[in-house]
Amino acid sequence: MSNPALLIDQQAFRENALRLHEVLQGQGKFCHFDCSAFARQIPLLEMLASCGLNRLASSRLQDFELLRPYAQDSLFLRSPMPSEVSQVVDLCDLSCNTEWEVICALSDAALVRQKIHRVLVQLDLGDLTSGLQLEAASQMIAKLVNLRGVRLAGLKTTFNGYGGILPDAAKFNELATFAQFIEKRYGLALEFVSGLNSSCLSLLDEGIIPPALRHFVIGEALLTGRESAYGGSFAGLYQNIFCFQAEVIEAQRRPSLPQGPRGDCSAGRVIPYEDRGLIQRVNLAFGYQDLDASKLEAKLRGVRYLGQTQDQSFYDVTGLNKCLRPGDSLEFIPDYTASLEALMSPFVAKLFV
């Protein structure tokens, strides 16, 4: 078996996707699945398609060539670069937008292709990830509705992004009220009033999400079975779709504290060394070029993360009730960030189980 490797449980992935779809449908909601992490893993795309789950999204334009055979409705999750508007119109059904010049360019590109491109106007309700203030959005929409190559499909905002601002009833109602204002002013029925994500799933049963807010973009909950605000797990979802496996290349008893004058460690990373005397330490054959080892949870008790360099990661296994030698492997459950890094790394083998 190739190491390091990411073992992917296809059946658990399928069950998570179906469970999320079922829960949202039962609440009168629907979603696009964010494929940014796994668009290059064709078996997972095929799995979604076999379940009839074909609303797919990504924040990487390059992904949409791969998503095209499996997506009935494809959503580009960030504002397009001006240099890529033609490709966005060619590859994506919808895109999120904040800039008037870009929307005009999308309209022109769509007219050349004799098609209509649907846009979501991105709003900023305090998280500061991306988007327009409501007054600026209102002014832009007044012009947007007169463009012939694009159609206002809806509104979108971001929660728990750059600013970590959590969703609550006040934010939900602010978005719903603005959507109702736009619909009434222009005689529209918005297809999407969006902003719900994995951090909002735990609020479904609390009755604070207005009926107008129907659209989710789901990534983290699909892949990890957890919500993105506090890391809590959801009943009925698998938290172990991914298992990261790495091989021991060195196993030695050595001091826990580096000896001698100290400068910056590898890549300027500051490691809070703790003097634990002599420890049994193993070096694993992966480093931060592959993924952030601090985002991994060891499956065995007694494995304690110490640090990593570009090509190696270090663990204290003094408390492990077995002796590890070179050639042995350790397994870890990655969080969402580490899963994404492993999926994207060309140095990590992807093995479907």
| Tens-digit pLDDT profile for residues 23-50 | 999 999 999 999 999 999 999 999 999 9
> What SS3 state is found at 148?
coil
Alpha carbon separation from 82 to 75, 79, 101, 151, 235 (Å, rounded): 17, 9, 8, 18, 42
Mean pLDDT of 65-82: 97
Task: Tell me which amino acid residue 227 is.
Answer: E
Mean pLDDT of 10-28: 97
**Paired tokens of 353:** 């189980």
Mean pLDDT of 202-215: 93
At residue 234, the pLDDT reads: 82
pTM above 0.75, yes or no: yes
Distance separating alpha carbons of residues 214 and 225, to the nearest angstrom: 21
At residue 261, the pLDDT reads: 65
**Paired tokens of 221:** 């909950």
Spatial CB neighbours of 131, under 8 Å, sequence gap ≥ 6 = 98, 122, 123, 124, 125, 137, 156, 157, 158
Tell me how far apart the terminal alpha carbons of the chain are, to the nearest angstrom: 12
At residue 165, the pLDDT reads: 85
Higher-pLDDT residue of 33 and 205 is 33
User: Residues 119-148: pLDDT tens digits?
Assistant: 999 999 988 899 999 999 999 999 999 999
Mean pLDDT of 178-196: 97
Mean pLDDT of 46-71: 97
Q: At what angle do helices 42-50 and 10-26 cross, to 10 degrees?
A: 40
At residue 164, the pLDDT reads: 85
At residue 262, the pLDDT reads: 63
| Backbone angles phi and psi of 219, in degrees to 5 | -130, -65
Q: At what angle do helices 134-144 and 100-112 cross, to 10 degrees?
A: 30
Mean pLDDT of 60-83: 97
Cis omega (within 30 of 0) on the bond before 346?
no
Mean pLDDT of 315-319: 96
Q: Is the pLDDT of residue 205 over 90?
A: no
At residue 1, the pLDDT reads: 62
State the Rg of the chain over Cα.
Answer: 23
Chain mean position to CA 208: 24
CA proximity to 34, closest of 178, 158, 198: 198
